[in-house]
Structure 1
Amino acid sequence: MAWKELWTEQRPAPLNLSDTEILDWLGEYCDQAVYNRPSPQYRGGFTLYCDEISTSGATLREAVCLAAAKLDELNE
């Protein structure tokens, strides 16, 4: 196995959720959603703390879709 594969975080492909599914998912699984303002050192975005995982994304949609995929992967 190449060193790049060992050092690269393996992330599931984000799910494609509708607006309603995102709101339902946030209400059911998300404990806390934090908006981080951009700074010269950080691009900003949302961090979600949900059940057993935390996930970040540039947009709330991106963060939720990735968190949903990670949670699905954990529950398989």
Structure 2
Amino acid sequence: MMMVQQSAPLVNLPLFIAPELAEIERLQTERNTLQRRIHALRPHCHKRVELETRLRFVTAQQLALSAEIGRQH
């Protein structure tokens, strides 16, 4: 009897999640930029509040994408 080797499911291959990984990296770069800009501003500056809101939104996007990749694997 011939043994057939099973291959890994295609969704587990990094090639198939490359766009998602690239997006996570882009979001991380944006987060780093926002954090630097926030750090340079006064604590109660209006622009700082806006940037902190944007940082929370970008972080949520990054976490959601990471969770989606985790569910696929």
Please indicate, yes or no, whether the TM-score normalized by the shorter chain is above 0.5: no
Kindly indicate which of the two structures has a greater share of residues assigned to helix. Answer: 2
Q: If the length of structure 1 is used for normalisation, what is the TM-score?
A: 0.29
Kindly indicate which of the two structures has a greater share of residues assigned to strand. Answer: 1
Q: If the length of structure 2 is used for normalisation, what is the TM-score?
A: 0.30
Asked which structure has the greater CA Rg, the reply is: 2
